[in-house]
């Protein structure tokens, strides 16, 4: 299930940490309402611009706490303008964070990441079904240890969800999904 947070309701031009703090408390309230596997989409459609301070306070601080305070929930941004995308991307890069951006039906990662992380994320997103580390390892021709490291990183950043499953041999294994 997906819920929306309309950032444009707070103005077309969003400046300052103080403004972002007010909005972040409401955003956190919406995240609190989500169940595991659900998504909150921050719709930036009617926002022309926001500054670095605003982006840092709203997006970066929310993303830092997402995996701990709201495990298994996804936060996605969409309808960024060139100006808002640039400021958000620079903000995320400066603090070493990554966020999911949706353009139409395509998912893309914004922020500081290695191309291998984007490839792994893309492979999981394409499957539309939970996938194991072994399957991804084979699909991307990467050894299993390296794949497990990539998947742990993506899960820790709140970009993929890790679920327990059972292998055909009856052993416990993890399955990875993007946006339930």
- Predicted confidence at residue 21, as pLDDT, reads 98
Last residue of a domain, one of 84, 112, 140: 112
- Cβ(78)–Cβ(101) below 8 Å: yes
Residues 135 and 105 occupy one common structural domain: no
Q: What is the pLDDT of residues 1-53, one digit of tens each?
A: 899 999 999 999 999 999 999 999 999 999 999 998 899 999 999 999 999 99
Please give the pLDDT value at position 1: 87
Count the domains in the chain: 2
Last residue of one domain, picked from the residues 112, 132, 155: 112
Contacts of residue 48, Cβ cutoff 8 Å, sequence gap at least 6 = 12, 13, 81, 83, 84
Do both 71 and 139 map to the same domain? no
- Based on the fold, state whether residues 68 and 32 are members of the same structural domain: yes
- pLDDT of 79 > 70? The answer is yes
CATH of the domain at 72: 3.30.750
Same domain, 45 and 123: no
Check whether residue 96 and residue 125 sit in a common domain: no
Provide the domain limits for residue 161. Answer: 114-180
pTM over 0.85: yes
Residue that terminates a domain, selected from 112, 139, 170: 112
């Amino acid at each position: 299930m997906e819920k929306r947070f309309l950032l444009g309701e707070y103005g077309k031009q969003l400046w300052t940490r103080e403004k972002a703090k007010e909005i972040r408390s409401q955003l956190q309230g919406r995240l609190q309402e989500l169940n595991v596997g659900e998504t909150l989409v921050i719709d930036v459609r009617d926002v022309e611009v926001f500054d670095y301070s605003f982006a840092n306070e709203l997006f970066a601080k929310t993303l830092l706490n997402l995996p701990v305070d709201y495990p298994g929930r996804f936060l996605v941004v969409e309808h960024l303008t060139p100006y808002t995308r640039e400021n958000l991307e620079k903000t995320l890069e400066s603090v070493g964070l990554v966020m999911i951006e949706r353009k139409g039906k395509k998912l893309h990662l914004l922020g500081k990441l290695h191309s291998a992380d984007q490839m792994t994320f893309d492979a999981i997103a394409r499957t539309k079904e939970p996938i194991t580390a072994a399957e991804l390892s084979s699909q991307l021709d990467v050894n299993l240890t390296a794949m497990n490291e990539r998947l742990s990183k993506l899960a820790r950043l709140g970009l993929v969800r890790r679920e327990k499953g059972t292998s055909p041999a009856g052993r416990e294994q993890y399955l990875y999904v993007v946006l339930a």
